Amino acid sequence: MLLVLALAAAIWFGGGFVGISRGPRMAVLAVLAGAVVLAQLTLPLTHPLRLATGRSLAGWAILAAVAALVLIYRWGLGRLKARAAGPAAAPDTPLFSEAELERYARHIVLRELGGPGQKALKQARVLVIGAGGLGAPALIYLGAAGVGTIGVIDDDLVENANLQRQVIHRAADIGMPKVFSAEAALRAQNPHIAIRPYNRRLDAENAAALFADYDLILDGTDDFATRYLANRTAVAQGKPLISGALSQWEGQVSVFDPGKGAPCYQCIFPQAPAPGLAPTCAEAGVLGPLPGVVGAMMAVEAVKVITGAGAALRGQMLIYDALWGETRKIGLKRRDDCPVCGLESGVARA
């Protein structure tokens, strides 16, 4: 058997060395394989030629099965590469490395995403406001999904009380600015993406310039002043805003996108509630895994908005009740008298 394999290797590599093309070499190997099979089927068990070619077909069958598996694997990998390349990639379109193709293979084989969807994720620029309960899981899944540029803005430090739910931070990060803790976690998770930390509070002076660098905004904050500011800025720049909120055992998520006919945040919440009516997580408490559920939902909506897959939660709010294991969706409508996106605001209506 070893003699036959050595002869086959000499035919293949020796023929290639002297310039014989692949086709004739394959034909000679096919003749050699046919001769081996014929010898095994027709010659007596003790015949020297049969002994020299492996005594039985069992060993050759195993070798053929291994070779077939290798060929199938190479064919499948080639298909993944071709799908990731897209139908007509532009010369300046970012290409994926071998490591990225393997990392995102489960995305690429999804019919609704495929190579074009993964390219859209790589080219996307997403800003996450807040690296706390909602921002932490959203950042983790956006980074894992391959969003090419992720910005995160927050002015808080990591505290021991955060670690019950803000899963991007570790005990060793206590006292560190949250954006730098999040940056370190994301860089360790996915070296193929760019992370931009902004260790400051979002305010009226920096919001417009900051939002201009991004395609999509995720709001995971827990104070209404920041929510209204983020909404006004996103609407003014025509950027979709994905907003999540938490309260004890319940969470909600929606996509506010007036440019696509959906309402904005202020359409649904015209004014902030009176003090005490909407207590923060620190005041009312929150179930530890709940921000993970809602933050992951925000990341899902971000992937859908970026790639155009499925139907994003525009004009809808998804509400999750963790205590009773229930979800429900309610429809949201744009208000003509909304001061941010209403008829007199000048915002286009789809």
Domain membership of residue 100 (yes or no) is no
- Report how far residue 240's alpha carbon sits from residue 308's, in angstroms, rounded to the nearest whole number: 13
Tens-digit pLDDT string for the chain (350 aa)? 666 666 666 665 665 666 676 677 677 667 767 676 676 667 676 677 666 666 666 666 776 777 777 778 777 777 777 666 665 544 554 568 999 999 999 999 999 999 999 999 999 999 999 999 999 999 999 999 999 999 999 999 999 999 999 999 999 999 999 999 999 999 999 999 999 999 999 999 999 999 999 999 999 998 899 999 999 999 999 999 999 999 899 999 999 999 999 999 999 999 888 776 666 777 778 899 999 999 999 999 999 999 999 999 999 999 999 999 999 999 999 999 999 998 777 676 55
125/252 same-domain check: yes
Domain membership of residue 48 (yes or no) is yes
Q: Among residues 255, 268, 263, 258, which one has the least CA distance to residue 350?
A: 258
Contact 265, 241 (CB under 8 A): yes
Q: Burial letters for 54-81: b for 16+ Cβ neighbours within 10 Å, e otherwise?
A: beeeeebeeeeeeeeeeeeeeeeeeebe
Q: What share of the chain is helix, strand, coil (3-state, %, to 5)?
A: 50, 15, 35
- Report how far residue 150's alpha carbon sits from residue 139's, in angstroms, rounded to the nearest whole number: 8
- Report how far residue 341's alpha carbon sits from residue 265's, in angstroms, rounded to the nearest whole number: 9
- Contact partners, residue 336, CB within 8 Å, separation at least 6: 342, 343
Q: Which domain does 214 fall in, by range?
A: 114-345
Domain membership of residue 151 (yes or no) is yes
- Report how far residue 120's alpha carbon sits from residue 148's, in angstroms, rounded to the nearest whole number: 9
- Contact partners, residue 7, CB within 8 Å, separation at least 6: 32
123/179 same-domain check: yes
Contact 12, 25 (CB under 8 A): yes
215/320 same-domain check: yes
Domain CATH code at residue 243: 3.40.50.720
